[in-house]
Structures are given as structure tokens and as C-alpha cells.
Amino acid sequence: KAGVTQTPRYLIKTRGQQVTLSCSPISGHRSVSWYQQTPGQGLQFLFEYFSETQRNKGNFPGRFSGRQFSNSRSEMNVSTLELGDSALYLCASSSRGPDSPLHFGNGTRLTVT
Amino acid sequence: GESVGLHLPTLSVQEGDNSIINCAYSNSASDYFIWYKQESGKGPQFIIDIRSNMDKRQGQRVTVLLNKTVKHLSLQIAATQPGDSAVYFCAEIKLMTTDSWGKLQFGAGTQVVVTP
């Protein structure tokens, strides 16, 4: 079974631009979560989607948004990029709640210059 | 200004010895705890979990202990191997639903270095 796939693996953007990151969950998984990982703040929750509905949202500004499609694939978008948005963005999926472990992808490394 | 990175505590372990990684969690209402392992260039990998109604849970070469009185979690790795070198994170959550995870709160992590 293929794991969580995130594309692209690396991105370099300029301040003020926007970016879209993609996540394909494990087949059959309906829940997708996004996390930001930085050396300064560690792993921080962005949002969670379940069956195309946003279930939870972390404490990030409105520039960070996401969505989930009917095939459970998810995208997150960051608009008006800032230098501080440079991070590893991780997507995780599970088939349902805590009876099913949360499986992480290898992330998208975003660098904002 | 320049951001200051988290200073990860480091645990150096000799190959074959047992490792103990500690974690203090913050929310006394948390009812689910998970340990993840993250190798360089990869995402976190699930190791083992434990619910708050348990004190101990064992997996393959790993044991998680939970002490709710002092809000402390530990991960014991038996017969540590070079492949165990990684950053280990504990995570906690107060479960709100049964069909999705919600917001996991991660600890800062511990770097484990296995020496031959």
C-alpha cells in the first residue's frame, strides 16, 4: 500500500507570492491533517479535513487555507508568502480517528526568499 | 531578526543498550498519547500509542509508560540499534470525536544518537 504522498518535495518562492501544496492520502483514508514544522516552533497543527469538511483549524493567519476533494486528496494554500513561512509542511492521513494511526508523508520543504 | 531554533536534547546510547526517552506533557485533560520517530529527510513515523486509562503498553522492542500524576510519558527502546538514530517526538491530544484525530500537540523532540 502506498504511503502518504506529498508534492512537490521542494519549493522555492519569493515573498509576496502564493503557493499550493498537494497531498494524496493512503488509499481508503478519509481524514487528512496538515502540520508545519520549523526549527523554532517545532510541529504545529494547521488544519484537519474529513470527508471534504474542515474539522479543526490551528492558530495560523487566514493566509493559510486548505481544502479536501471528494477523492480525499487535499491541498493547502499559502498566500502572500512571508520569510517566516519557510518550513517543512507535513500531511498526515488516517482512515478514521484514534483506532487508526496517523500516517505522515515526507513533507514539502518550502523556502521563501 | 534571526529566529532561534529549538535546542533538542540529545540522548547518546551505545548500540545494544536500552534507551529511555522522556516527555513531560502539558494538558492534564489529554487522553491519548503517541510516540513518533522522525529520521532525517522523512516525516514522523508512528511507533506506539497509549490511552490515558493505561499505565504501560508494549510493542516490538518498545515500551511506553504513562504517569498521569506527574504528567510524564516515557519511551523505552530495548537493545538499541543504529537504525534507531532519529528524533523522537511525543504527542498528546484530548479526543473530541471518534472519527477524526483533531489537533495533536507535539513535544519539542529528543535526538537519539546510537554509537557503535
Instruction: Write out chain A's pLDDT in tens, 113 residues.
Output: 789 999 999 999 999 999 999 999 999 999 999 999 999 899 999 999 999 999 999 999 999 999 999 999 999 999 999 999 999 999 999 987 777 889 999 999 999 99
B57 CB within 8 Å of a chain A CB: no
Q: What is the pLDDT at residue B22?
A: 95
In angstroms, the Cα distances linking B55 to A30, A72, B31, B33, B71 are: 31, 36, 12, 11, 12
Q: What is the pLDDT at residue B115?
A: 94
Which residues, given as ranges, of chain B have pLDDT below 50? 1-4
Q: What is the pLDDT at residue A97?
A: 74
Strands B62-67 and B72-77: antiparallel
**How far A24 CA lies from chain B's nearest CA (Å)?**
14
- Note the Cα A111 to chain centre separation in Å: 15
Q: What is the pLDDT at residue B96?
A: 82
Q: What is the pLDDT of residues B73-95, one digit of tens each?
A: 999 999 999 999 999 999 999 98
Q: What is the pLDDT at residue B1?
A: 36
Sort out which chain A residues have CB atoms less than 8 A from B91's CB and list them.
43
Strands B32-38 and A19-24: unpaired
Sort out which chain B residues have CB atoms less than 8 A from A92's CB and list them.
43, 101
Q: What is the pLDDT at residue B100?
A: 80
| Test mutation, A55, A57, A88, A99, chain B, max B CBs within 10 A | A55
* B37: nearest CA partner in chain A: A104
Sort out which chain A residues have CB atoms less than 8 A from B109's CB and list them.
42
Spell out the residues 6+ positions from residue B2 whose beta carbon is closer than 8 angstroms to its own.
none
Q: Cis link prior to A8 (omega < 30° from 0)?
A: yes
The candidate with the shortest Cα–Cα distance to B23, out of B31, B34, B7, is: B34
Tell which B residues from 79 to 108 touch A, by Cβ distance under 8 Å: 89, 91, 93, 95, 97-108
